[in-house]
A and B are shown apart, each in its own frame.
Chain A
Amino acid sequence: MALTISCPNCGKRNGYEFRYGGEDKGPRPAEEGLTPQSWCDYVHMNNCVAGIQKEWWCHKNGCGAWFTIFRNTLTNLEVEEPEAKL
């Protein structure tokens, strides 16, 4: 399905110009106290959400920027940042 992605520099562009960079997993874990399990969790494990997720993209056929967006994996549509749950 057609996907458009909003690049922070170039605006809304065709999704095929971009490279998917994985689910947003927060900052890289600190070296100190790192276990094989926690490293594996950061490197390999995904939430596989059927719904809205925060994810990384790179505008590889454009400006080259890395950025995050929110996208609904059930519809393939970019969405606004969902409001934080109170």
Chain B
Amino acid sequence: MFGRFKPLWGKKPQLKSSYDAVIIGGGLHGLATAYFLAKEHGMNNIAILEKRYIGFGGAGRNTAIVRANQRTQENVPLYKEALDLWPILTKELDYNLMFNNCGNLNLMHSEAAMNTARMNVCTAQFHGIKSHLLDAKQLKELEPAINISPDITYPIHGAMFHPPGGVVRHDAVVWGLAKGAARYGVHIHQQTEATAIHTKNGKITGVDTNRGRIHTPRVLVSAGGYSAGMINKMLGIRLPISVLTIQAMVTQPLKPVLNHVVSSGMYHAYANQTLKGEIATGAHMDPWPNYTTLTTAHYIKHQAEALSDFLPFLRGVKFMRTWAGLADMTPDMAPIIDGNDPIDGFYMNCGWGYFGFKSCTATGRYLAKFMAGGQCPDMLKPFTLRRYEKHRLMGETAALVSYSADN
């Protein structure tokens, strides 16, 4: 029981002075990219630099929900592939990712919202993803815990039901991918901070760390919420990102009562019951950019009010823990994935907002293809940074340009 701690990803490797690729950020996107670079492209001379420990950031702070019922034609196929990958990766990594495809219910609180949901359903069905609408009565039959009374703040008109979505154990994904990547020879360097990125004649030449310099022709920044500030500081490339703290909390454990992931845009709340019985629930983001990752009484109160309205069985149930992470929001709620522009060998993968978890595996796989061959796969082309100067923003959310509590 008190044996020595042996990480799944092997012994601590020596930091070499040169690698074929350096990935800054030991989160899910970085680990997935490294795993697929090594496994599918034979590039195993790779280093992952993580300032703290793998899974410290968004990877270990999200509420573990996975789904593929987004709005636009460009985004949905990527999320679908990610959703399809969970059972495959569970086998491939020989590690139980605890994928529980319990289904997602998005509550709709007006006829206008039902119409919007109808468009989302069309996008999903066009791509062969199961998703359909429920009226309030069908919703109540499917999930009896929900309050469909007209006497609540935002009465429920119906819901969008997405059966293949659900929950994946986020820590298991971190550990499984780290184990897989290390098996193919990837070096995972924890407590190693990248301090500078070097370029010469428009090409990447190396990375400075607090443990010495690394020579490399390829650098990927996938440091979650810290990416935008880092890319601006190290390379002077400004990004259309606002970094906001987003909070989440769990209640005391209850007997099985909630069978789906339930979310409501109107209440700014979502909830699911974990396998331990706790209700894991998340709130909206802070209304101003900050890197504090601190929780506030404001949101605990908000969450209690929202949940006791549409999930009344939670009245009187206590919150047990609360935490927060960072969401890097873009004006169109879609990520920025780009490479070799304007610097050869520089890749970035950021701006995921609160969608980073559900997309990590498929994105890592395509990004690995991008980094190995230098050509951007079609799947990632819509996410170029240049879309903003062409004013071709994606329509994931209507009219979200400057992030604030109002929208």
Contacts and interface: CB of A to CB of B under 8 A. Distances in A.
A41 B388 CA distance: 9
B229 A22 contact: no
Interface centre among B288, B328, B331, by most chain A C-beta atoms within 10 angstroms, is: B288
A74 interface: yes
Interface residues of B, number: 30
A21 B403 CA distance: 9
B232 interface: yes
Nearest to B402: A22
Given A44-B240, A47-B232, A50-B229, A20 B288 contact: yes
B141 interface: no
Nearest to B242: A46
Interface in B284-305: 287-292, 294, 296, 298
A50 B289 contact: no
B242 A40 contact: no
Nearest to B405: A19
B389 interface: yes
Interface in A14-57: 15-16, 19-22, 36-37, 39-41, 43-50
B287 A16 contact: yes
Contact of B388 (A15, A19, A44): A44
B95 interface: no
A86 interface: no
B238 A41 contact: yes
B268 to A, nearest CB: 14
A24 to B, nearest CB: 13
A11 B239 CA distance: 33
B354 interface: no
A81 to B, nearest CB: 19
Nearest to B225: A48
Given A36-B389, A40-B391, A44-B388, A50 B232 contact: no
Contact of B228 (A39, A48, A76): A48
A1 B289 contact: no
Contact of A46 (B238, B292, B390, B391): B238
Given A1-B296, A2-B296, A74 B291 contact: yes
A36 B406 CA distance: 27
Contacts of A3: 288
Contact of A50 (B238, B291, B296, B388): B291
Contacts of B319: none
A19 B389 contact: no
Contacts of B249: none
A63 B359 CA distance: 43
Contacts of B229: 47-50
A50 B243 CA distance: 9
B57 to A, nearest CB: 13
Nearest to A5: B288
Interface string B367-407: 00000000000000000000011110000000001101110
B238 A76 contact: no
A40 B389 contact: yes
B182 interface: no
Nearest to A39: B389
Given A1-B292, A36-B390, A76-B294, A48 B242 contact: yes
B403 to A, nearest CB: 8
Interface in B316-353: 328, 331
B38 interface: no
B236 to A, nearest CB: 10
Contacts of A20: 287-289, 404-405
B291 A73 contact: yes
A80 B239 CA distance: 27
A30 to B, nearest CB: 18
A44 B228 CA distance: 13
Contacts of B328: 48
A62 B279 CA distance: 37
A36 B328 CA distance: 24
Interface string B241-255: 111000000000000
5 contacts: A20-B405, A40-B389, A44-B240, A48-B242, A48-B328
Interface of B: 226, 228-229, 232, 238-243, 287-292, 294, 296, 298, 328, 331, 388-391, 401-402, 404-406
Given A20-B288, A47-B232, 14 more contacts: A19-B404, A19-B406, A21-B402, A40-B388, A43-B401, A44-B401, A46-B241, A47-B229, A48-B232, A48-B239, A48-B242, A48-B328, A74-B290, A76-B294
